[in-house]
Amino acid sequence: MNVFVGVILAELSIIMPALTNSAGFRTAAMLITVPLALLALVFMSMPMDNYWSTKWSGTIMDFFHPVFPEYTEPPRQVISLGAQLLCLSIVLSPILRQIFTSAPLLWVGKVSFAIYLLHGPLMRSVLSWCLYFGSTPLEIPSEIPAVLLYPLPGGFRMIMSLMVFLVVLGGVAHLWTTRMEPVFAKLTKKAEDVMFTTDYTMSPRSADSASPRGIKFKTDIV
């Protein structure tokens, strides 16, 4: 499904600039795409596990269960649908395109891969420490050995912990992108030079057919 939707969105991205010159279209697009984008963000917030534990996610899954078979992982399909709707709303709306091409969001896109790599470890360290430092574990036996259950923190502490976590995550992701990725790029380039620049002894016939992948061959014809 993602492939076909991607093809359709690619075609729309080509023809939409010609339509957005109309003021009426811009107004209609704004009225449609903003609610569509908000709905898409809700779908993309669907938890993969325990979605029945909250009313909003349980209600959405009750609606989509007849649509997506169980073997297709319905929560994953809802998240995918949300991503597609968000892309559609951006393609249709000139204002949303301006918003999503602003400098802060372009920076987020630049460090997004580092965020993907680092958010898990930082959630289990920085965020957990901010949320539960100084809390006393609950005296409730856990089904999993050596797992401590802590009380849910208050709203203010949760908001402040999330803000600290996002600042730390953004800073670490920026350092990873600007300092670590260039190092790995150089190491990758050296590995490519070793792997794909090799001397071979070849016959005249095989020497005429150079590799299309850029492998350099050195012939030694006696």
Please report the DSSP string for 54-69 in residue order.
SHHHHHHHHHHTTTS-
Calculate the average pLDDT of the chain: 83
Between 198 and 24, whose confidence is greater?
A: 24
How many H helices and E strands in the chain?
A: 11, 0
User: 3-class SS at 197?
Assistant: strand
Query: Would you say residue 119 has pLDDT above 90?
Result: yes
Q: Answer whether 0.85 is exceeded by the pTM.
A: no
Among 80, 55, 54, 56, CA closest to 67: 80
Domain layout of the chain by residue ranges: 1-101, 103-222
Residue pair 137/149 in contact (Cβ under 8 Å)? The answer is yes
Q: What is the pLDDT of residue 111?
A: 96
Give 111: exposed, middle or buried? Use CB within 10 Å, 0-12, 13-18, 19+: buried
Q: What is the pLDDT of residue 7?
A: 85
Q: What is the pLDDT of residue 219?
A: 44
Nearest-angstrom CA–CA distance, 103 and 98: 10
Q: What is the end-to-end Cα distance of the chain in Å, rounded?
A: 58
